[in-house]
Every structure is written in structure tokens, then in C-alpha cells.
Homo-oligomer: A and B are copies of this chain.
Amino acid sequence: MHKINITEKLALFAEHWSPKIVGELNGQHVKLAKLKGEFVWHKHDAEDEMFLVIKGSFRMEYRDKTIVLNEGEFLIVPKGVEHRPVADEEVSIMLFEPASTLNTGDAESELTKHKLDWI
């Protein structure tokens, strides 16, 4: 029941593509992540996923279109939809998704994080 300051939490880590958990409610996790470069194409078979830009911008690529997301904008990627986040410059985002969500979904690779840290 303490408050979380997003900027302070973001200052605690530098790695890209390594979401950190900052909250949990109703079986969902609130995560912070820094992205830079291209992620892998993937989908989540059972989980919808929300991306909210805290600082910077990035683009979400779908197979048939691309959406540029700027600060203060969010996007919900429905379960089953292939997507790939790409950030030309570093972007800080908040994620809201079920605790069961694996970052790379159905596309396991060296980018897959099986265990996320709380910060």
C-alpha cells in the first residue's frame, strides 16, 4: 500500500528488453521496461498486453501495419496477434499484463526472460 514513483523506478536499471515488475493486482503485473532496437516477432496465445509510453517513442509493428507510440499514448495488443516492438532510440514504457505473460510469447530465444525481478 505504498506508492510507486515511476521515474525513480526507471532510474534503477539500464538494460534493454528486460521488464521489471513494479506492481501486482488481480493476477496482473505492472512492469517497467526500456527498449532499444528491434525485438522478435511473437504473439501471446492467452494474454492481452498493454504498452504505455512513459518517455520517448517507439513503433509497434504488426504484420499488416505499424503504429508509432509517443509519450502518454498506449496500445493494447490482443492475444494471438503477432507483433514486434522496435525503438530507434531508447524508450521507457509501462506494461500491464497477466502475471503469466512471457516477454517473447511463443518465440523463445536468447531474449526470453523466464524470471522477472521486482524492483
Contacts and interface: CB of A to CB of B under 8 A. Distances in A.
Contacts of A54: 72
A69 interface: yes
Interface of A: 1-7, 23-26, 28, 30, 47-50, 54, 62, 67, 69-70, 72-78, 81, 96-98
The DSSP consensus for interface residues of chain A is strand
Contacts of A96: 25, 28, 30, 96
A4 B52 CA distance: 9
User: Which 4 pairs from chain A and chain B are nearest by CB?
Assistant: A25-B48, A3-B75, A6-B72, A5-B73
A47 B67 CA distance: 32
Contacts of A23: 50, 74, 76
6 contacts: A2-B67, A4-B75, A25-B97, A26-B48, A26-B98, A96-B96
Q: Which among A26, A70, A76 has the highest number of chain B CB atoms within 10 Å?
A: A26
